[in-house]
Amino acid sequence: MPLLDVQNVTMKFGELVANRRVSFTVEEKSIVGLIGPNGAGKTTLFNCVSGLCRPTEGTILFNGENITGLKPYQIASRGAVRTFQVVRPLKDMTVFDNVLVGAFLKCSDNKRAFKKAEECIELCSLGSVKGKLAGELSIGGKKRLEMARALATNPKLLMLDEVMAGLTSTEVKESVDVICNLRQSGLTLMVVEHVLEGIMSIADKIVVLDGGIKIAEDSPERIVNDDRVIEAYLGAKYSQRYKSEGRVH
């Protein structure tokens, strides 16, 4: 049984169809990358899974349970926790208190929650700024805070929405390392990413969206050779040239 099973999800905003009959699965202890050009419907799909949007049609199963249309906090307490692409720090609280709010989900007593928060802060290398107000962090710091806060809830499935966007290549490498470590500790990850160099090297499976429709679901090696994917990313004209020049991988 897959940990997350998205079945025929359609999300319409009025006449605009952001996702059309998207289906895919996320296996336990795997990393699934969700990629696609701007406006492909990646974040909308994320919002449907995390409960921020109620899908117009379709079903979402998490751990065998139907979670379609549940409230975000209900989904989070079942163990599917997300970060936001546009960072949302709790500005007037310290970095430590931000993470602590996440930690309180599974640890109700102070001592365990404080320990959990401390761990997650170290893991996301925020130790030096933990007493600072979250609103005062740099963008890279805020992205790491998003991750630390979600991690502190002790999730089964961690959904990362573009945590690498806008980071320098060293920072991307650091994030990749953190994600790999998380998988080793038994976590399942679903990662929306624009930075392909980051995600291609670590994902077990890539799901490609274009114009709200799933156009491919396969291992990274096969995805990079998929004609439809190349066309979606490079356009038909370039895809032709790319092919005639021969591929180098």
Q: Which residues bind other proteins (CB under 8 A)?
A: 50, 52, 71-73, 76-77, 81-82, 84, 88-94, 96-97, 100-102, 104-105, 108, 110-111, 113-114, 130-133, 149-150, 153
Find the helix or strand (DSSP H, E) in which 228 lies. helix 227-234
Three-state SS at 60: strand
Neighbours of 197 (CB within 10 A): 12
Minimum distance from CB of 120 to other proteins (Å)?
Answer: 12
Nearest residue (CB) to other proteins, 111 versus 237: 111
User: Nearest CA to 29 among 249, 204, 187, 205?
Assistant: 187
Nearest residue (CB) to other proteins, 20 versus 82: 82
Minimum distance from CB of 156 to other proteins (Å)?
Answer: 13
Nearest residue (CB) to other proteins, 20 versus 42: 42
Minimum distance from CB of 165 to other proteins (Å)?
Answer: 18
Nearest residue (CB) to other proteins, 91 versus 222: 91
Neighbours of 181 (CB within 10 A): 11
Neighbours of 215 (CB within 10 A): 17
Nearest residue (CB) to other proteins, 191 versus 216: 191
Minimum distance from CB of 87 to other proteins (Å)?
Answer: 10
Minimum distance from CB of 139 to other proteins (Å)?
Answer: 17
- DSSP type of residue 119: H
Distance CA 138, CA 135 (A): 9
Count CA atoms closer than 13 A to 32's CA, side-chain side: 24
Burial of 214 (0-12, 13-18, 19+ CB in 10 A): buried
Nearest residue (CB) to other proteins, 121 versus 230: 121
Residue with tokens 């030096």: 128
Minimum distance from CB of 138 to other proteins (Å)?
Answer: 16
Question: For residues 95 and 134, is the Cβ–Cβ distance under 8 A?
Answer: yes
